[in-house]
Each structure stands twice: as C-alpha cells, then as structure tokens.
C-alpha cells in the first residue's frame, strides 16, 4: 500500500490510483454529445411551440443549463409565453389567489400538439392551485438518448425575465472556476 511514489521507491508493482477530487470534478463537465442532445431538444421544443402557437411560439431556456453547471443527463428547463397574453407567469384571480388556468390550458395545448414529434409525456403537474404548473416531456434523440424537458408558461417573474439570474450566476462562475466545479460536486452529491 501507500502512496505511488513510495511503492515505486521500494519496487512494488504499480497500483491504480483513485482519481483525485480535482480530476473527478473536471470529469463532471457535460460531454459534447450531451450538449448536442440538449441543443437538439431545445430546437425540437421550439418547433413544437411554433406548431402549437404559430410563429410567436418560442422556448426560453433557464436553470442549470444557462448557469453552466449542468451535468450529463441534466434536464432542460424551458419557459414560454402564450402569444397575446402577459409574459408574467403568475396571475391573481378575483378571489386574490393565484390563478393558473391560462398556464394549464397552454400546457394542455402543447401536450396535444406532440403527435408526430419525438417527445413523450413523462408527467403533467397541472393542479389547480400550483404556483407553476409544468409538463415534463422526454425527447428521444436519434442517438437513442432521452433528454427530459420541463415546460412552464411565463417568461417573466416579478418583472424579471427567467434566466436573468442564471446568466448572472454564469458570469460569476466564469470568474471562479473552482466554484463551478464545487457546484457540480454538490449536484452529484445531492443526487
């Protein structure tokens, strides 16, 4: 046993070293194939939204993908606006409580427009009193991999575009690469 330098000094046979924490953290960066699958899923999501809502249908990515802390297998968080409606995600009903009727109707339109696409519905979270109803779709890439895409309605929250804070986080992490690797380590640990 002992460190590799000590084994070499006494002539012991080399033993595979466990990867260092640093090399393990560097290995958590998503592969080019994973990033390509995410880009393909994003393009397909935009195509579905345009099919359902017309030329104004567009997806806005946010979350770990925009922050740059995603891993292989990370999901794709997407928000979209319903053409002709307010981009604010949350509306307040006449009773003073959140009203997600518009969001639920739009998400149902998306699920009904999936025929002929590579998407399948994994889960629908469309409960009446949910602050942010979502549909979780799986996109089957030609390579065989599946990317999970979470769709929600509304690209604005309290006057700020979704993804804005993610872009700030990305800029901060660009100035501290060690923090980026630490975030990825925590994400793996949390799974």
Statement: residue 149 has pLDDT above 60: yes
Determine the average pLDDT of the residues in 72-83. Answer: 92
Name the nearest CA neighbour of 78 among 136, 13, 139.
136
pLDDT at 121: 96
Confidence of residue 5 (pLDDT cuts 50, 70, 90): very low
Determine the average pLDDT of the residues in 138-147. Answer: 93
Statement: residue 1 has pLDDT above 60: no
Tell me the pairing of strands 91-92 and 98-99.
Answer: antiparallel
Collect contacts of 185-191 with beta carbons under 8 A, ≥24 apart: 185/21, 185/24, 185/25, 185/28, 187/28, 187/64, 187/69, 187/71, 188/28, 188/71
Statement: residue 3 has pLDDT above 80: no
Neighbours of 184 (CB within 10 A): 22
Distance CA 148, CA 75 (A): 5
Instruction: Kindly give, in sequence order, each residue whose CB lies less than 8 Å from that of residue 83, ignoring residues fewer than 6 positions away.
Output: 53, 54, 56, 57
pLDDT at 162: 92
Statement: residue 123 has pLDDT above 70: yes
Statement: residue 12 has pLDDT above 70: no
Statement: residue 58 has pLDDT above 60: yes
């Amino acid at each position: 046993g002992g460190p590799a330098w000590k084994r070499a000094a006494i002539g012991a046979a080399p033993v595979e070293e466990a990867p260092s924490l640093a090399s393990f953290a560097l290995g958590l960066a998503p592969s080019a194939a994973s990033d390509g699958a995410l880009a393909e899923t994003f393009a397909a999501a935009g195509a579905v939204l345009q099919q359902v809502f017309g030329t104004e249908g567009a997806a806005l990515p946010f979350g770990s993908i925009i922050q740059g802390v995603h891993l292989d297998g990370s999901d794709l968080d997407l928000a979209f606006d319903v053409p002709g409606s307010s981009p604010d995600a949350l509306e307040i009903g006449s009773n003073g409580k959140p009203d997600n009727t518009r969001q639920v109707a739009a998400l149902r339109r998306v699920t009904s427009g999936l025929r002929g696409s590579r998407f399948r519905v994994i889960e629908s979270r469309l409960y009446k009193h949910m602050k942010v109803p979502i549909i979780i779709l799986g996109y089957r890439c030609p390579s065989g991999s599946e990317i999970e895409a979470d769709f929600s309605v509304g690209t604005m929250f309290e006057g700020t575009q979704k993804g804005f804070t993610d872009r700030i986080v990305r800029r901060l992490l660009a100035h501290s690469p060690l923090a980026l690797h630490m975030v990825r380590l925590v994400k793996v640990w949390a799974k």
